[in-house]
Amino acid sequence: MPVYEYTALDKAGKSLNGIIDADSAVAARQKLRGSDIFPVEVKETVSKPKDVSTGSYTVSTLFTRVKGGELSVTTRQLSILLGAGVTLVAALEALISQVTNPALKRIMAQIKESVNEGNSLAESLSQHPKVFSQIYINMVRAGEASGSLDLVLDRLAEYSEQQEALKGRFKAAMAYPIFMFFVGGIILFLLLAFVVPNITKIFTDMNQTLPLPTIVLISISNFLKSFWWLVLSILVVAMILFRQFKKTPKGNHIWDEFKIRIPLLGMINIKMAMARFGRTLGSLLQSGVPLISALQIVRNIVNNALIGEVIDKAVEDIQAGMSLANPLSQNRWFPPIAVQMISVGEQSGELEKMLDKIGDIYEKEVETQIMALTSILEPMMILLMAVVVGFIVFSILLPIFEMSSMVG
């Protein structure tokens, strides 16, 4: 059954926008009139949301993308409705009326229609891969197979909320240093390119021998004043080339290796990968996903090619009859504590609980280290700005002092 978007008026003349399913546009209008809503415009949506699911965004969807927080709330509400005994189609119908994001509302309507046609919820979700991740789809599939869909959805909502919270803490901690870096860089650029040349012009007009710091400052400022467009062009081109390089397998591998080898940030990136590994693998196993399938999903969640290669090797070894801890212990990127906890979990039969604890431990460590890093970065950036500004002031005042001493 097609899905239609409509613009209508209620009895009070208030404008309404929404989605309705019907056999035809005429049936959709009749259905709206039966609800005392007077349609102004009714148009059919595409059967597959290419603007959202395939990444081909239109102008309207660029500002109506589905956020992780919205998806978590919707998932939890669906879990509650199913747990209360509401049928899946009725639960989806109830959610459609509550969702405010137009993109998510459209997707939920198409999912409901797909389920109504006899498809499973997992199959319906898989038609929207840009909104529903592989872990989401596979956990739902496992929940449907085991008859515990409401519990799996609740676990999914909790998992999504934890991941969003971790991302939020990371962004909040890094926001100030990044802001300071860009604002400070722009101020220094404007100072050197447009303010300093007007001041140093006095010295060049006097045809006096200038100190080396002043000569260096004048050379830098003259270059930036004349070729600022070239500097900006080089930066833009470098960013574009870097992004293209990262998309290649070799470039992605080199970048991921750099991320985990760089001092300070490398350890944070490893611990973030361990937090994702433990949290995601634990959630998948608790939902009934087989270990091999769960590891293949987690391989893409850790967001690092080197650690992904370790997981690939672990999958091969498990298929050969080995335990999970054994191949992980042979690689330097998996911390010994994480490997030991996995080994204990396998021996005690509580691997899922141990993986959850690994996620908890490394999420807390990441948060602590990020806070410590930002506390170091802030004074370092202030000190760097002070040094640069001090050099500019010193280079301007030095010839003035020399001239005043000559006059004296």
Do residue 120 and residue 256 come from a single domain?
Answer: no
pLDDT at 46: 52
Rounded to whole angstroms, the maximal C-alpha distance in the chain is: 98
Nearest to 284 by CA among 295, 273, 272: 295
Q: Within a domain: residue 175?
A: yes
Do residue 177 and residue 290 come from a single domain?
Answer: yes
**How many Å apart are CA 321 and CA 207, to the nearest integer?**
83
Do residue 32 and residue 123 come from a single domain?
Answer: no
Do residue 1 and residue 95 come from a single domain?
Answer: no
Q: Which are the contacts of 363, defined by CB distance < 8 A and separation ≥ 6?
A: 162, 166, 275, 279
Q: What is the pLDDT of residues 73-95, one digit of tens each?
A: 889 999 999 989 889 988 988 88
Q: Within a domain: residue 138?
A: no
Q: pTM, whole model, 2 decimals?
A: 0.68
**How many Å apart are CA 394 and CA 368, to the nearest integer?**
39
Q: At how many degrees (to 10) do helices 102-116 and 88-98 cross?
A: 160
Do residue 317 and residue 353 come from a single domain?
Answer: yes
Q: What is the pLDDT of residues 15-42, one digit of tens each?
A: 777 777 677 777 777 777 777 777 777 7
Q: Within a domain: residue 50?
A: no
Q: Which are the contacts of 91, defined by CB distance < 8 A and separation ≥ 6?
A: 78, 81, 82
Do residue 202 and residue 333 come from a single domain?
Answer: yes
**How many Å apart are CA 160 and CA 74, to the nearest integer?**
11
Number of domains in the chain: 3
Q: Within a domain: residue 139?
A: no
Q: What is the pLDDT of residues 280-303, one digit of tens each?
A: 888 888 888 889 988 988 887 888
**Whole-number average pLDDT of the chain:** 82
Do residue 258 and residue 303 come from a single domain?
Answer: yes
List, as one string, the DSSP characters of 110-146. HHHHHHHTT--HHHHHTT-TTTS-HHHHHHHHHHHHH
pLDDT at 408: 53
Do residue 67 and residue 194 come from a single domain?
Answer: no
For residues 127-153, average pLDDT: 85
DSSP-derived letter for residue 3 is: E
Percentage of residues of the chain with pLDDT beyond 70: 92
**How many Å apart are CA 128 and CA 47, to the nearest integer?**
11
pLDDT of 165 above 50:
yes
- pLDDT confidence bin for 60, thresholds 50/70/90: very low
Do residue 270 and residue 122 come from a single domain?
Answer: no
Do residue 296 and residue 365 come from a single domain?
Answer: yes
Do residue 17 and residue 110 come from a single domain?
Answer: no
The one-letter code for the residue type at 6 is Y
Do residue 127 and residue 260 come from a single domain?
Answer: no
- pLDDT confidence bin for 45, thresholds 50/70/90: low
Q: Within a domain: residue 247?
A: yes
- For position 86, which CATH number holds? 1.20.81.30
Q: Within a domain: residue 140?
A: no
Q: Within a domain: residue 347?
A: yes
pLDDT of 241 above 90:
yes
Domain range spanning residue 338? Answer: 150-408
Tokens of 212: 């080396």
| Contact indicator for 58, 51 with CB cutoff of 8 Å | yes
Q: Within a domain: residue 396?
A: yes
